[in-house]
Amino acid sequence: MTDILFGPSGLGTSAARVMSQLSHDPGYVEREWGDGTAPPLYVPVVERVNEPLAEEVDRRLVSWARECGFEGGNLELLGKAWFGKLAMLAHPDSDDPDHLLIAAQLNAAWWAADDLYADDSEMGATPTALPPRLALAMAAMDPVPHAGEFTADLDATLRSDPVLVALRSGMEHIAQLGTAAQVQRVNYSTFAMFVSWNAYAAWRYTGDYPSAWEYLAARQHDSFYTSMTLVDVVGGYEVPASIYYDPRVREAAFRAGTATVLVNDLHSVEKDAADETPVCNMVLQIAADRDCSIQEATEVTVELHNSIVRDFEAGHRALQSIPSLELQRFLRGLRAWMGGGYEWHATNPRYKSSAQQEPQQEEQPAPSAD
């Protein structure tokens, strides 16, 4: 681990190194998306595209998923999801396939739980079954102490469900390459995300859907912030808790995660609205609140996204004076995740088949989302 430099003394050349890193700033751009009729999205530029690296991570991911028990259509869908490409795009500070595999595994496991447990009715997701399923998911990720005769049934269940196997295996991989603190950080951000999933389930079950403000409050804890907790683990360093949980840093991370999840909502409108039990989505909630068209609600969501990204940009700039190499690398990682996350959604064939079509930027396969 690198020494932590979070104070006024002993800065010297280390602070200079931080400023040298920041001088090579790839910046932000406005990018058209969908069919080009909505306002452009303000996003960080994509810092790396390396298809051979993505393919290697995906090859390892599919092999791992098969070992976890995924088979048939679910294994095929996972194989086409390109979570290896997501890891490659979102974590440009690592070119180690094993480290990138951590991000691919956990994102694949989270998405499998989201589809099979929470979101997709056609895949067996039901609101009433979700809370007990998530309770078992927590036990898979953060193993509970032995409880005598009652442990056998729990262990058998955790071994019988590929989603639970994948969640446990992914956390074991993190434990091999990260610290105990990083492992628990991922656990608790995931469990906060699960609370939001339960809120969505209640709204869908009762049909009493939330206002946009209430949905957004829940969505900020069910965002790509959870994926971004892996930034330093994948990068091979650790942001210490005193810095990671500083309110300014946490605010930056939540902004990055929320901005990226709004990109997901924008690309997912058609899919979410088509489910037999409609999925909550910022665009759909705004349209319902204001009794306006999807186009108008889309424009409001884009404006919100762009405002959040600009707030992140300003916050990042304000934090550049703090001479911590770990912090500066982490903030750069959050920004890279936003840029890579946009590219992941924008080039995704799953969305290209819908009404929202991304203008061709480059020929490359892309992952699934939402």
For residue 191, with 0-12 CB atoms within 10 Å meaning exposed, 13-18 middle and 19 or more buried, which class applies? middle
Q: How confident is the model at residue 196 (pLDDT cuts 50, 70, 90)?
A: very high
Look at residue 179 in the predicted model and tell me its pLDDT.
97
Mean local confidence (pLDDT), 335-351? 89
With a pLDDT cut of 90, the percent of the chain lying above it is: 72
pLDDT value of position 326:
97
What's the rounded Cα separation, in Å, for the pair 137 and 162?
A: 11
**Is residue 226 a contact partner of residue 257, using CB atoms and an 8 Å limit?**
yes
CATH class of 12-21+30-352: mainly alpha
Residue 277: the pLDDT is 75
The per-residue pLDDT for 22 is 46
**271-277 long-range contacts, CB within 8 A, separation 24+:** 271/350, 271/354, 271/370, 272/370, 275/119, 275/120, 275/121, 275/122, 276/121, 276/122, 277/121, 277/127, 277/204
> Measuring CA to CA, which residue among 146, 34, 125, 53 is closest to residue 94?
53
pTM: 0.86
Bridge partners of 29?
43
Residue with tokens 């403000």: 213
Residue 14: count other Cβ atoms within 10 Å of its Cβ. Answer: 14
The single residue listed with the structure tokens 């990083």 is 182
What's the whole-number average pLDDT of the chain? 87
d(C-alpha 84, C-alpha 43), whole Å: 21
pLDDT, tens only, 6-21: 333 233 333 333 444 4
pLDDT digits (tens, 9 = 90+) for 40-52: 999 999 999 999 9
Please count the other Cβ atoms lying within 10 Å of the Cβ belonging to residue 59: 14
Residue 255 has pLDDT above 90, yes or no: yes
Is the per-residue pLDDT at 282 higher than 70?
yes
- DSSP classification of residue 142: S
pLDDT digits (tens, 9 = 90+) for 91-148: 999 999 999 999 999 999 999 998 888 766 566 668 778 999 999 999 999 999 999 9
Q: Quote the tokens at residue 46.
A: 């994509």
Task: Give the contacts of 145 (CB within 8 A, at least 6 positions apart).
Answer: none
Banded pLDDT at 35 (limits 50, 70, 90)? confident
Query: Tokens 């979101």 map to which residue?
Result: 119
Q: Which of 67, 97, 259 is nearest to 166 (CA)?
A: 67
Q: SS3 letters for 90-105? A: HCCCCCCHHHHHHHHH
Contacts of the segment 7-11: beta carbons below 8 A, 24+ positions apart: 11/323
pLDDT score for 55: 94
pLDDT number for residue 356: 41
Question: Would the pLDDT of 369 be above 80?
Answer: no
Query: Any idea which of 169-183, 222-236, 346-360 has the lowest mean pLDDT?
Result: 346-360
The pLDDT of 280-300, averaged and rounded, is 96
CA distances 84 to 50, 141, 175, 276, Å, are: 11, 21, 20, 31
Query: What average pLDDT does the segment 265-291 reach?
Result: 89
Q: Give the torsion through C-alpha atoms of 67, 72, 77, 80, to 10 deg.
A: 70
Question: What integer pLDDT is reported at residue 73 of this predicted model?
Answer: 84
